[in-house]
Structure 1
């Protein structure tokens, strides 16, 4: 909608003069001359078709028209200033970006974010979830890598050891390891082949049981989906115990028997000699959360 308004400079000059009761003080605030303020106010009065000030010695006093206009402009400029302050504050807030796998982000990081916010109210966390390796030079401050390493060129701290075991919805009523052959096995397909991947073949070998040759299975490329399928009672999943800790505590999943087999370790990577206080605070928070599970 088109608005027929006088120039903003004239409105600012009037508002400042009305607030100070002085053209001279308004000029000092706006870094112009008193004559410039007088000209701007005069132009506004011509636009309004009536005087807005009574000019007196060393001060100006609002007319009835000026009294009507002043609070509207004052409140409007205050609202503008508040909005700009909020925008500037948001832009200047410190952010820390953490990169991790999709499953680790969804099931381990996200439930713990509120604790970080409580401890660090001036820092915003940005979580970057991707199963592909992300370069820290792309704006990532902390990368959580799952594997054996090494990770040259970074400061590396072991974060969380991982163990895998069969878990399932208790409604399946599986009581012994031998009962696994009567239910579908849920598989998480590892993106990278490695002899130490925690697979069903490795688990059965560790348990001293023959691996079923023709057994229904359900495969997923994302570990979170495998966990959700297990919670839904679709079968028995071999998944990270660290990632199903909450479901086990709530009784949505059970792990009544072993063995558990070792997975890899999550490592926390930061740039060598990282001196950013917010990044270091996030790193300390990650370590404290991991140590609480030890």
Structure 2
């Protein structure tokens, strides 16, 4: 059976905006701009041929069609989340790590991380970039760049200034135990792995 489904990103934007009745709050949750949420919702309305929101002055209100659509969309996301959680390794918290294409995976010794952190089911997407992090395809990202991304915590993992390698995670989840464990793992790697065994320089002075 083939399902006629709108784009997932548009559905996520609608569902978040409908819960918050705010493009701004939905954007904060999804780590995108309010304009991007508004564009996704507008595209979804065009595809469905119905108006989902009344855009009043400083107020967002669900139309009758939007009110009817929201429960099914929310329930669908709940089922997807539950099905995904069942794929996690037994007794483990799943951690999705994205790594930019130019990074040498041998620097991380991921096999050793997995053997010493049995409680974390580590999965790697390589190559990956900020797009995958924004889309929720990965939980944290080893990115190449300047490391300044509003709404994200950025920890530099190499020496020097200018372009470098950064561990990037959403501010809302940056202190989750599994992400803290991986950040500590990076800090503890020996210098011969080309990642200094010092604490990384943190954006904004945070540690």
TM-score, normalised to structure 1's length?
A: 0.30
Higher RCO, 1 vs 2 (CA within 8 Å, ≥6 residues apart): 1
Report the structure number with the largest CA radius of gyration: 1
